[in-house]
Structure 1
Amino acid sequence: MNVPSVMIKDVPKAERPRERLLKFGASHLSNQELLAILLGSGTKNESVMALANRVLMHFEGVQLLKNSTIEELTAIKGIGDAKGVVILAALELGQRMNQFKPGEKYVIRSPEDGADFVMEEMRHLNQEHFVVLFLDTKNQVIHRKTIFIGSLNASIVHPREVFREAVKRSAASIICAHNHPSGDPTPSREDIHVTKRLAESGKLVGIELLDHIVIGDRKFISLKEKGYL
Structure 2
Amino acid sequence: MGPSHYRPTIKELPEETRPRERLLKEGPEALSDIELLAILLRTGSREATAIDLASQIMAQFSNLRLLLGATIEELGEIKGVGPAKACQVKAALELARRTSSFSDHRRPVIKSPDDAASLVMEEMRHFDREHFRAILLNTKNQVIGTDKVSVGTLNSSAVHPRELFRNAIKRGAASVILVHNHPSGDPSPSREDKDITLRVKEAGNIIGIDVLDHIIIGDNKFTSFKANGLI
Deviation by residue 1:207-227 (Cα, 9 ceiling, x = unmatched): 000000000011000011222
SS of residue matched to 2:215: strand
Aligned equivalent of 2:214, options 206, 212, 215: 212
CA distance in 2, matches of 1:217, 1:167: 32
SS of residue matched to 1:224: coil
8 A contact 1:115–1:215 mirrored in 2? yes
The answer to whether structure 1 residue 200 and structure 2 residue 202 are counterparts is yes
Match of 1:127?
Answer: 129
Q: Which amino acid aligns with 1:204?
A: I
CA distance in 1, matches of 2:145, 2:130: 20
CA distance in 1, matches of 2:125, 2:167: 24
8 A contact 1:195–1:228 mirrored in 2? no
SS of residue matched to 1:218: coil
CA distance in 2, matches of 1:223, 1:188: 11
CA distance in 1, matches of 2:173, 2:217: 23
Deviation by residue 1:111-133 (Cα, 9 ceiling, x = unmatched): 00000000001000010000110
SS of residue matched to 1:177: strand
- % of aligned pairs identical? 57
8 A contact 1:196–1:228 mirrored in 2? no
CA distance in 1, matches of 2:208, 2:189: 26
CA distance in 1, matches of 2:221, 2:158: 26
8 A contact 1:136–1:142 mirrored in 2? yes
Q: Give 1:165 deviation, angstroms.
A: 1.1
CA distance in 2, matches of 1:173, 1:197: 15
Q: Give 1:155 deviation, angstroms.
A: 2.2
User: Which residues in structure 2 correspond to 1:135-146 (within 5 Å)?
Assistant: 135-146=137-148
The answer to whether structure 1 residue 225 and structure 2 residue 227 are counterparts is yes
Deviation by residue 1:87-123 (Cα, 9 ceiling, x = unmatched): xxxxxxxxxxxxxxxx810000000000000000100
Gaps of 5+ in 1: 1-102
Match of 1:147?
Answer: 149
8 A contact 1:108–1:141 mirrored in 2? yes
CA distance in 1, matches of 2:163, 2:125: 24
Match of 1:33?
Answer: none
Match of 1:115?
Answer: 117
TM-score (norm 2): 0.54
CA distance in 2, matches of 1:165, 1:193: 22
Match of 1:160?
Answer: 162
Q: Give 1:154 deviation, angstroms.
A: 1.3
User: Which residues in structure 2 correspond to 1:27-38 (within 5 Å)?
Assistant: none
Match of 2:175?
Answer: 173
Q: Could you list the runs of 4 or more consecutive aligned residues of structure 1 that deviate by over 6 angstroms after TM superposition?
A: none
Q: How many residues align?
A: 128
Gaps of 5+ in 2: 1-104
